Structure 1
């Protein structure tokens, strides 16, 4: 038996199920990029809001590339379970907030119709850094093959193409503006989405760009929840809990955080009644997340993989890596920005170390290590640049950066990164003695984000050499 609307009534009593009639609720949110994280985060908050009495906020999920999530959830009436693993027994809940999953590449018209529907008031995004197609300077990369081909062919394939068509229909039919809410790990994510989308619209329809700027909002947000990739063992464990199969099951940790700039165009669920924080300025929270949690995660990934480790919990328990990551968070990341009133960064670091050490959540280092070239500017390089301006170096971050530099050499493993070929070519061109300068020296590949001065560059090069010598 498989989880579905017809089988929910047969679930064991210890499994929580929606108290509301989920099938009777209209879609109010379109989500672009419906992976495991969204299903364990924004969809859970929205499910809780409707369980608390709000109505018509179901989610139309859109997969821009893979049909995997659609194929998991379509036979289950879009129902799935979230299992929370902490110190005690796992807690499982069936989520009813997702109404359907569309695959954009084969249901483009349906995606555009969902965006254009007057009942839709919010569009949320978890498309990762790659999905925004930013150039190195943070603006939209019009030379990116996906953007260039979309503009030439007129066939939507990126978030910008689908939004352009959905917003055109809303304008033409007076359906009103949308809240366009990025939930990706990017500093000032709402502002960056706004600049990129308006630049795209200026190319295709300048009047639509003006209409969008006048009628839509782009709040910034910060999200935080560790959601490892679901394994076959997880699916088997969840099936035992449910007494039936759930191909879309996700497993996560007890902690969840969602900080949102309170700037909505046409209403929203009362997510704040269920743990979200609605604030005037997200920046201190997103900076803490990017530089402390995400920065530590990336350090654990590259340093841990170099030691032959596989999991976050293993890396943070390592006698050298654990203390290094502690110093990275407290001494380097936490001192690189001004905290918001009441934001206790020392306590935040304590929470992070506790969460990293959760053995019930096998968060794989290889998953975190993906797309490093897109992540390290926000996670490490901004911190390095801040301290360099103050005349300080960051030995812990530089050691992690050296591990990444050696990792992207791709000796004996595959590098899953949009710049993998470019980084490999740079390694061949610069060689071991020049790779640090080629990346982070004056005119280097990443110099726009961080141009290392002599002291940091020498330390980084020595750390690279030391790693190469011990391989």
Structure 2
């Protein structure tokens, strides 16, 4: 079987081997600009859009992918060389692989190379939606102050260099200013990040920046830009060299950066699109009036569950999430955490069977074909913890509920941040607050509660005596007994309480 590079020229032959786009990509208009064209976007929004382009004749919803950061050079070059095409490899629960080429990304821009080109594209009349996957930390939100962080050096740069911005806020401000000056219709800015109220967050942070950078633009944005909230879900691990080799050996397709993901997918969106939208509901998306209950459920159970498995598993010495959840003691601990500490905070979820949902999460985490790397899950925990775990802790403290399991996870993170697992192996700490985390983690070895003093992560949690006591005891227990013994002890305590 002849090896073929993935590109437009070879697409007809590749179509004889795996599923490829049947729509005419050259006829598509760019109706969506997406910032952050990493694996998740390509397994989620771009996948939904590709499926829709197969379903209907609309030519208005091609995607222009924007690589925002210098770090994104590789993905930009890959998409450029492959004409925006990439292979999606869905790793099914039964061990089989479903493979298809996705063609929804029809343009691709590298912001650091040509900021003006990106701004002009965002300001283009044919663009109706700007979507974002910029990670939790990309919203520049300070958990302690609950406000936009104007001390960020990149924000300071953007305020002083408006035509050559570095952050999403600088780009959006310039693009929206052009749309206003050109008397263009409104536009939707849609976050696809794991943040509760992600649309509200995007609006609040953007308006905070605009109020200082271009005050006269604020009222125009409030009248002409919509920010729908959305809940997104699909486990998308980092593509490994083995994934690339598998694709080449089994199909003869040379794809420099395929995307791998689980079969499950979910997208719940508030139907608030000021300039029109794709009919994503035709391919499985769900449009609702209020997305809050769904996203709180997902952030508090799935995303927090990932962090629980990642932090505990990392200290034990596991490399992948499935290894952690398939440890029966850790699996039981996670199940108990979801039942005892998270579920009481969720309230009524109409149309959702929480028991079934939680069971499905354990199955998804345990998919041995996904091999979601623990260091990916643990990366940027300082941005994730305030969103995934802290709300559960605060809610349980307010209601005088259990916080012992969350305290154990927090203590595990403090010990993880030292950078060594229980076997003496080094852990790669990948976090914007790495220096602060490691400094506080080292101090915590003599005074555990010191770690809770990172107010941008924990807010005022270090002033709550109930949590500090539970956290300090958990920290000392992990040091003295190890993670798994602590997990077993809490599991036994919960089992006795049910008896």
Alignment CA distance shift 1:269-1:466 (3 Å): same
Q: Is the 8 A contact 2:415 2:441 kept in 1?
A: no
Deviating more after overlay: 129-138 vs 197-206? 129-138
Question: What is the root-mean-square deviation in Å for CA atoms of aligned residues?
Answer: 1.7
1:456 matches 2:467: yes
Q: How many Å separate the matches in 2 of 1:322 and 1:431?
A: 28
2:376 paired residue number: 367
Q: Is the 8 A contact 1:139 1:192 kept in 2?
A: no
Give unmatched runs, 5+ long, in structure 2.
Answer: 421-425, 483-499
2:494 paired residue number: none
Q: Is the 8 A contact 2:63 2:106 kept in 1?
A: yes
Deviating more after overlay: 356-365 vs 88-97? 88-97
2:75 paired residue number: 69
1:34 matches 2:37: yes
Q: Map Cα deviations across residues 371-420 of structure 1 (whole Å, 9 max, x no partner).
A: 11111111111101111111122222221111101111224433211111
Q: How many Å separate the matches in 2 of 1:19 and 1:449?
A: 55
Identify which of 299, 304, 320 aligns with 1:295: 304
Q: Is the 8 A contact 2:375 2:428 kept in 1?
A: no
1:424 matches 2:435: no
Q: Is the 8 A contact 2:340 2:402 kept in 1?
A: no
Q: How does 1:29-428 map to 2 (within 5 A)?
A: 29-53=32-56, 54-65=58-69, 66-88=72-94, 89-136=96-143, 137-154=145-162, 155-411=164-420, 412-428=426-442
Alignment CA distance shift 1:444-1:219 (3 Å): closer
Q: How many Å separate the matches in 2 of 1:447 and 1:156?
A: 30
Q: How many Å separate the matches in 1 of 2:154 and 2:464?
A: 36
Give unmatched runs, 5+ long, in structure 1.
Answer: none
Q: How many Å separate the matches in 1 of 2:25 and 2:250?
A: 22
Shift of 1:447: 4.6
Shift of 1:363: 0.4
Q: Map Cα deviations across residues 99-137 of structure 1 (whole Å, 9 max, x no partner).
A: 122111002121111101100000000000122211223
Q: Is the 8 A contact 2:321 2:373 kept in 1?
A: yes
Q: Is the 8 A contact 2:382 2:457 kept in 1?
A: no
* TM-score, scaled relative to structure 1: 0.96
Q: Map Cα deviations across residues 215-266 of structure 1 (whole Å, 9 max, x no partner).
A: 0000111100000000110011112343220112101111000111110010
SS in 1 for 2:253: coil
Alignment CA distance shift 1:29-1:445 (3 Å): closer
1:3 paired residue number: 6
SS in 2 for 1:418: coil
Shift of 1:18: 1.4
SS in 1 for 2:245: helix
Alignment CA distance shift 1:351-1:199 (3 Å): same
Count of residues in Structure 1 that have an aligned counterpart in Structure 2: 468
Q: How many Å separate the matches in 2 of 1:325 and 1:141?
A: 34
* TM-score, scaled relative to structure 2: 0.90
Shift of 1:449: 5.8
Alignment CA distance shift 1:449-1:100 (3 Å): farther
